[in-house]
Amino acid sequence: MVTIKDIAKVAGVSPSTVSRVVSNHPRISKETSQKVKRIMEEMGYHPNVMAKSLVSKTTQTLAIVLPRPAEELFQDFFFGELLRGILTQSARAGYDMLLTAATSPHDESETVSRLVFGRRVDGIILLSSRVNDPLIDMLDKHKFPTVLIGRTDEHPNILSVDNNNEQAAYDATAHLIVQGHERIGFVSGPPALTVARDRMQGYQRALREAGLPIRSEWVVEGEFLQQSGYRAMSFLMGLPERPSGLVVIDDVVGFGVLRGLTELGYKVPDDLSLVSFNNIALSELAQPPISSIDIGTYQLGYTASQILIRLIQEENVHQTRMIIPHRLIVRESSIHTVAKRS
Residue 185 belongs to some domain of the structure = yes
pLDDT value of position 205: 98
pLDDT value of position 155: 86
Distance between CA atoms of residues 15 and 5, nearest Å: 5
Pairing state between β 321-323 and 159-162 = parallel
Residue 47 belongs to some domain of the structure = no
Among 80, 67, 277, 77, smallest CA distance to 164 is for 277
Q: Are 200 and 316 within one domain?
A: no
Residue 221 belongs to some domain of the structure = yes
pLDDT band at 339 (very low <50, low <70, confident <90, very high): low
Answer yes or no: pTM beyond 0.85. Answer: no
Question: How many domains does one find in the chain?
Answer: 2
Distance between CA atoms of residues 60 and 312, nearest Å: 10
Give the pLDDT mean for 201-229. Answer: 95
Q: Are 208 and 264 within one domain?
A: yes
CATH number at residue 124: 3.40.50.2300
Boundaries of domain holding 200: 165-295+328-334
Q: Which of 41-55, 130-144, 157-171, 297-311 has the lowest mean pLDDT?
A: 41-55
pLDDT value of position 342: 40
**Tens of pLDDT along 40-98?**
888 888 765 444 544 446 788 999 988 766 566 666 788 889 999 999 999 999 899 99
Amino acid in the structure at residue 294: D
Q: Are 206 and 109 within one domain?
A: no
Percent of the chain with pLDDT over 90: 60
pLDDT value of position 80: 87
Residue 7 belongs to some domain of the structure = no
CA distances in angstroms from 312 to 52, 159, 317, listed in the order given: 16, 12, 10
Give the pLDDT mean for 101-112. Answer: 78
Q: Are 221 and 306 within one domain?
A: no
Q: Are 196 and 143 within one domain?
A: no
Residue 193 belongs to some domain of the structure = yes
